[in-house]
Structure 1
C-alpha cells in the first residue's frame, strides 16, 4: 500500500504519522511544505511587493507547485492525507486528488478558527477533534494522538509541581496571571515558558507586574522542538493546558501528558467526557483558579488502563484514519 501525507508540519507532529505507517510496513511518504521558503532577501522583497500590489503570494504558489511536482515523482497513491487544507488553493487540492482514489483530511483546528468549508467537498473523508464541527457537519470524530514513547512516572524525578509552555496570547496570559497568584498562595513550585517575538517581552512583563516573574517565567523567541519538550515535562508533576479561543477539543498537551504519566491542570471542561478522565489525574479549574487544591499535587498519578491508553496512540490513530 502506498500512502502520502501532505502537510505544513510547523510543529513536527505529522512526521510521526509517516513513521507509524512505515513501522507497519507501508510505503509512506511525507511532503512537507514548511521547508519551502524564500532562499534570499530578494525573493522575500519580491513576494512582499507581489502580495501588496498584485494580491499574489509567491511563496504560497511555490509551495503548492512543490507538492504537485513531488506527487508527479511519487506517482499514484492508494491514499493521501492532507493536513492544514487551508494552506492550499482549491485548484491544487483538485490536482492532488487526481493521484488517489481516497483523499482524506484531518482538521487540527476548528472551523471557527480556520474556516475551510469551501474546500472540504474535495475530500472523501473528513476527520475532526472539534465536537461543534463534528455535530454540525457530521465529520468523523478523532482526537489527536500520543506520539511520545510511554515513560512511567516511577522512572522520573520531578522537582516542580507545574510546568506550562505557550505561545504569546493576551487571553491566555490573563488567565495565567490568576493561576500564578494561586500557585504562589499554595507555595507550589512552577515554571512558565512563553514563546514569542522580541517585541512581546515588554508586554509580558507588564502582564506580570508586581510579581517576581524572574523566579518562574522564561521568555524565548525560538520554538521548543519535540526533542526538547519531554525534558521539560519530565521535570514536573503536572502540566498546565489552557484552551485557545474557539477550541472545543483536546490539544496535544493532553496526550503528551498521558505518555509521560503527568497530571493535567486545565480549563477545558470537555475533558470530563473522555474515558481516560480521572479527577486524581486531571484538575479542571474555574475561571478564577480558586478551586485548585494543593492535595492534587501531593497524591500519586493513577495509571490509565492499557486498553484505554492504546485507543489514543499513534498506532491506533493511523489504523482508523487509513482503515488499515
Structure 2
C-alpha cells in the first residue's frame, strides 16, 4: 500500500462505486460515516436527522475513531453534528471535505465551515460563491481503461435527470433526425421516480459505462445541474480520446479546447454535427492532463493543507 495513503482514511457513502471500488481494491482505508446503510435502516436514519431529533450519534460509525493523520470526507450525507463528533473523537487529525457534487440547499458548505476543517470543490462557481478551496479538475483512476471497438453509437449519454429529461429527449430526437445512433441512459433522481416514466433506466455500473464509451464516437455532457469546471464527462473525453458534445460554452477558455473534438451546442452549427462526428479525434496536450489521477489530487490538497497549518 502507498505509504502516503496509509495516513489517510476516506469517509464516504459506500454506494459510490466509481470511487469506492478502486480504493477498496487497492486496500485503502475507507469507511462509511454512519451505521444503517441498507434500505430500511437508512430511511430511519434520514428521518432521525431531518426531524432534528436528539442522540443522532447512535448512527455515527465508531470505526472512524482511530488515529489517522488525515480524514478525507466526501460531502455527501455529512451533517454538522457528525462533523463535530468526528473532530471531538479525532482532535489531532486534519479533516478535509471534498465536494463531489454542486452545492445545493441540502449540502450548503456554510453549515460545515470550521476553523479546523478544510473544504474543497472542483466547481469554480461554488468556489467563488462559498469561498471554498478549488481543485480545477476531476480525479480519475488509473484502473479505468476503455477498450476501443468499432463504434455502435454516435452519441452516448449517462446521467441523472436533474430536471433536464425533456431537453434530453428533444436532443435525442434531433440526433436521430440527423441519422445518428444514440444511447441515452437517463437515471431518475429517486428510485421510485422510475415508475413514472419508462425512459428512466437503473444506475449503470461504471465498468459498463467504460464498455459503452469504447463503442461510442462521442459523449454527451450537459451543464444544467452539473458542476462548472472540468467534470467527469469532460475528463472521460480527454483521457479516452472520445469526442464531446456539450452546452458548456466556457470550455473554449481551456487549453484543451479543440473545435474538432468538442462540439458546443448553441454555438456550433447543429447541421454540421454529422460532419463533426465523422472526423477523427485529435490528441491534445493540456495542463489538466498533468494531474488527472486521484492520487495527484490528494497530494495537491494535502500539500496545500499542510502548508497552511505550518
Note whether the superposition's TM-score is higher than 0.5: yes
> Equivalent residues in 2 for 1:1-324 (5 A)?
2-15=7-20, 18=23, 28-33=28-33, 36-38=36-38, 55-56=52-53, 62-63=58-59, 65-66=60-61, 69-72=62-65, 75-84=66-75, 87-98=77-88, 99=90, 100-112=92-104, 114-142=107-135, 143-147=137-141, 149=143, 151=145, 155-169=148-162, 171-196=163-188, 197=191, 200=194, 202-203=196-197, 219-220=200-201, 222-245=202-225, 247-286=227-266, 290=270, 293-305=273-285, 308-323=288-303
CA deviations on 1:280-300 (whole Å, 9 max, x unpaired) are 111111199846621111111
When residues 292 and 148 of structure 1 are mapped into structure 2, their CA distance, relative to the original with a 3 A threshold, is farther
Question: Aligned residue pairs: how many?
Answer: 293
TM-score by length of 2: 0.79
**Cα offset, 1:182, TM superposition:** 2.0
Q: Is the 8 A contact 2:172 2:184 kept in 1?
A: no
Mark the runs of 5 or more structure 1 residues left unpaired by the alignment: 206-218
Q: Is the 8 A contact 1:151 1:261 kept in 2?
A: no
* Cα distance between partner residues in 2 of 1:37 and 1:285: 40
The CA RMSD over aligned residues, in Å, is: 3.5
When residues 135 and 47 of structure 1 are mapped into structure 2, their CA distance, relative to the original with a 3 A threshold, is closer
Secondary structure of 2:228's counterpart equals coil
* Cα distance between partner residues in 2 of 1:306 and 1:269: 18
When residues 32 and 255 of structure 1 are mapped into structure 2, their CA distance, relative to the original with a 3 A threshold, is farther
* Cα distance between partner residues in 1 of 2:244 and 2:111: 36
CA deviations on 1:5-50 (whole Å, 9 max, x unpaired) are 1112533233267469x6xxxx9411124883257x6x57866886
Q: Is the 8 A contact 1:106 1:127 kept in 2?
A: yes
When residues 183 and 88 of structure 1 are mapped into structure 2, their CA distance, relative to the original with a 3 A threshold, is closer
CA deviations on 1:289-315 (whole Å, 9 max, x unpaired) are 846621111111112337642322223
* Cα distance between partner residues in 2 of 1:133 and 1:178: 29
Could you tell me which residue of structure 2 aligns to residue 213 of structure 1? Answer: none
Mark the runs of 5 or more structure 2 residues left unpaired by the alignment: 1-5, 305-310
Q: Is the 8 A contact 1:150 1:260 kept in 2?
A: no
When residues 258 and 149 of structure 1 are mapped into structure 2, their CA distance, relative to the original with a 3 A threshold, is farther
When residues 49 and 31 of structure 1 are mapped into structure 2, their CA distance, relative to the original with a 3 A threshold, is closer
Could you tell me which residue of structure 1 aligns to residue 308 of structure 2? Answer: none
Larger relative contact order (C-alpha < 8 A, sep ≥ 6)? 1
Secondary structure of 2:128's counterpart equals helix
TM-score by length of 1: 0.76
